[in-house]
Amino acid sequence: MTQNLPHSHLTQGTLLIANPDINSFRSVILLCEHHEEGSFGLLINKPLTIKVPEEIIDIHQCPNPHIELRNGGPSQPHQMIFLHSSTTLREQAAKICEDLYLSGDLPFLQQAINDPNGPYIHLFFGCHSWGPGELEQEFLEGKWFLYPATSSHLFQIPPEKLWRSLLKEMGGKYASLSTIPEDLSLN
C-alpha cells in the first residue's frame, strides 16, 4: 500500500515541523536523506541531555563559539553526526541546502573546533530513521508540516524558539498554530 504514496514533497533539506494537534513535543527534524528504501533526519531543536565526556569535546573550552550539541533522535544515540556551514569540505560533506552541510570528518571537526573564527557546527548524537513508506504515511496522517530549510534556521534561531518561529514564518493557519501554549491547560 505505501509503495504508491507520493514522496516528492519529502526531499533532502526539508524541515518536518510537528503538528501540535498530533505531536505535543514540538519537534523540528531536518530531513537529510529520503528515498524508496527509507529516510533519516536530525532533530534540530532539542538540546543534548547527556553529558559528553570532555575527551570527546569540551564545549566550554572550544575556541570556536559556534559549536552546539543536540540530541539528533532515538536511533543510533552513540553515533555522532554534524551539520556545519563551512564550504571548504564540499567533497567530503553532503550538501543539505545552501550553506548547510552534513559530515562526519573528524579531522575537519577538530580543526573547526579550535578555530576562533570557525564555522557554525551542530554536533548531533543519534538520528531519526524511517523504513520504506513510513515517513510518507506519517506525512499523509498529518503529523508533519513541511518547510524548506535554510542554514539561518539552524544557526541563527535559538532551538527553543525554532518550532514557533517556523510556523510564524509559514504564515496563515500555521502562524495561528504557533500561538498554542505548550501547556494546553493554560488555554
Q: 187 lies in a domain?
A: no
pLDDT at 57: 73
End-to-end CA distance of the chain: 39
Give dist(CA 32, CA 131) in Å, integer.
14
Q: 186 lies in a domain?
A: no
- CATH of residue 39: 3.40.1740.10
pLDDT at 45: 96
Assess contact for 17 and 9: CB atoms under 8 A.
Answer: no
Q: 91 lies in a domain?
A: yes
Q: What is the pTM of this model?
A: 0.89
Q: In angstroms, what CA-CA distances link 77 with 43, 128, 174? A: 12, 10, 31
Q: How many domains does the structure of the chain reveal?
A: 1
pLDDT at 183: 65
Q: 99 lies in a domain?
A: yes
Q: 185 lies in a domain?
A: no
pLDDT digit string, tens, across residues 49-77: 777 777 767 777 889 999 999 999 999 98
